[in-house]
Amino acid sequence: MENVFLGLGSNVGERMEYLQKAVDGIAEFPETDIMKVSSVYKTEPVGVKEQQDFYNAAVWLVTRLGAHDFHARMKALEQTIGRQRTFRWGPREIDIDILLFGDSIVDEALLKIPHREMAERRFVLAPLSEIAPDIIHPISRETVESLAAKCTDTSAVERLTKQPLTFSFSMKE
C-alpha cells in the first residue's frame, strides 16, 4: 500500500459539491481507502486573478494501485464530475492533483510526482499541513510543515470550518 496525498480544487458553480463528489468518487476506487480529509479552504486564484475564489482541500489515502493507473483514474473522475478544460490556471469545476505518491519521483510529460508547484503554493500546503504535517517531500527531504512555514506565497488562504467534506472509512480487500 502506498500513502498518496491529493490536492482538490474548484472555483466554478457549486464548489463544495464538486469537492464532495471528488471525495465520494475516490472512496469508490477499488484497492483504495481514504484515511483523512482536510478542512476546506477558500483561496484566491493564482496565475489568472480575474476569476472566482477557489475552494481547496487535501486528501490522504492509501492504495495498491500504481501511480500511472491511479493518475488515469483521477483524470477520468474529473471528467465524470464534469470538468471542462479551459486554459492553464483557468476556472475549473474540479481539479484533482497528485501531490505525493509514497516516495515516488516521476518526471514525465503527463505525470509529475511530487507535484512540481506544491512547495510554492499556500493553497496546497495549508490543507496538506493540516492532515500530514510530518510527511517528507521526496526531493527536498523537508516536512510538509517545514515547507509551509517557509512558503513565500502571499495569496489569501482562509479555512472554512463550517462545511467539512465527509467520507466513510472502510478497508477494502
Name the amino acid, one letter, at 121: R
Cell of 7: 490536492
Question: Among 92, 107, 153, 159, which one carries the catalytic annotation?
Answer: 92
Torsion region of 45: left, alpha or beta (phi above 0 gives left; psi -120 to 50 gives alpha): beta
What values do phi and psi take at 24, rounded to 5? -60, -40
53 annotated active-site: no
95 annotated active-site: yes
Question: Among 15, 33, 73, 95, which one carries the catalytic annotation?
Answer: 95
Question: Among 97, 134, 141, 153, which one carries the catalytic annotation?
Answer: 97
Question: Among 15, 73, 83, 121, which one carries the catalytic annotation?
Answer: 83
15 annotated active-site: no
Calculate ∠ Cα 117-48-12, nearest 5°.
Answer: 95
Is the CB of residue 122 less than 8 Å from the CB of residue 148?
yes
Distance CA 39, CA 60 (A): 12
122 annotated active-site: no
Strand partners, 33: 62
Active site (catalytic) residues: 83, 92, 95, 97
